[in-house]
Amino acid sequence: MHEGPQRVAEAAAKRVAGLISEATGRFSFGLAGGTTPEATYRELRGRAIGWAKVDAWLSDERWVALSDERSNGRMASMALLDHVDATFHRPRWSDLITPRDSAVHYEAQLRSILVDRPPNLVMMGMGDDGHTASLFPGTAALDERNRWYVANQVPQLDEDRLTATYPLLWSARLLMVLVVGMSKADAVKASFEGATPAGRLGDGDAEVEWYVDQDAASQLV
């Protein structure tokens, strides 16, 4: 538990920097959207930690144009990847293809990157409803057990998302979950009880580390 959002970002950035610095060979780094990961990316971008060996990719993306201000990939580029020499792999977008087509292509791309190794690290956020990546409560992607990446229709938002699935996330060496703010306190408590999509991240082989501030942790005993 950390004093506030900035302390969470600093602690997470320090952890990521250490993992990349210590790694030999290619380093697979899954990126999350959201304001807390964005603050972490800004903390990271000034660190000379061997970025050239990093394959960065997105744990989820909105079905919007690559330049749209709502795009997680655009945010990650502006906050971090435009400033370092990592390789950034983004899902395809076009009004001539479907979200499913994009997800299928992106999964193939990720499988080519991860052909002989698991993801080293995936950074995750969490919403007020306990969703993580774009694994929202009540959506079909929660039950996927074969595919690594799928298009997920989210009725409560009336929009399509692209998302990593549990099989990919569970295969990672480390999942880092970053959560700040009083609005997330109930979801953090429910997640620690296994009652949210984020709470299921620990059901696989991945080590899971939670980086939360005092407000987000306020409902924990």
Mean pLDDT of 167-188: 98
Q: Which residues pair with 123 in a beta bridge?
A: 176
Query: How far apart are alpha carbons 133 and 62 in whole angstroms?
Result: 10
Q: Which residues pair with 159 in a beta bridge?
A: 154
pLDDT at 28: 98
pTM for the complete prediction?
0.95
List, in order of start, the domains of the chain with CATH numbers.
5-116+128-212 (3.40.50.1360)
Backbone phi, psi, residue 33, to 5°: -90, 180
Q: Quick: pLDDT tens for 78-135.
A: 999 999 999 999 999 999 999 999 999 999 999 999 998 999 999 999 999 999 999 9
Q: Quick: pLDDT tens for 143-155.
A: 999 999 999 999 9
Query: How far apart are alpha carbons 202 and 49 in whole angstroms?
Result: 28
Q: Using DSSP bridges, classify how beta strands 174-179 and 60-62 pair: parallel, antiparallel or unpaired.
A: unpaired
pLDDT at 65: 97
